[in-house]
């Protein structure tokens, strides 16, 4: 099966967020399924940590990979 998701090769936000473990897994991902699993994991982390920056960066990464402009439902984490 052909991979259709594009990978970010320059300026990956995971580097700026100091998420080295996730960045390594992302760079080593060989299939769309592996990339999708990483995105799913990042969204779970953003929810568990109530980290809106990570959430928004993850949606931006997904939008780049799919070539689609994603507008996630606007919601905010409760304190």
Average pLDDT over residues 15-20: 96
pLDDT digits (tens, 9 = 90+) for 36-79: 999 999 999 999 999 999 999 999 999 999 988 776 665 555 54
Q: Give residue limits of the domains in the chain.
A: 13-66
pLDDT at 76: 52
Residue entry with tokens 């990956």: 12
For residues 17 and 20, give the distance between their C-alpha atoms in angstroms, rounded to a whole number: 8
pLDDT at 78: 52
Q: Is 65 exposed, middle or buried (0-12, 13-18, 19+ CB in 10 A)?
A: middle
């Amino acid at each position: 099966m052909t991979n259709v998701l594009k990978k970010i090769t320059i300026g990956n936000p995971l580097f700026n967020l100091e998420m080295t473990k996730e960045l390594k897994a992302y760079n080593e991902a060989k299939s769309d399924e592996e990339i999708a699993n990483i995105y799913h994991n990042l969204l779970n982390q953003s929810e568990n940590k109530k980290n809106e920056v990570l959430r928004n960066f993850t949606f931006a990464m997904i939008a780049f990979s799919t070539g689609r402009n994603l507008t996630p439902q606007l919601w905010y984490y409760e304190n």
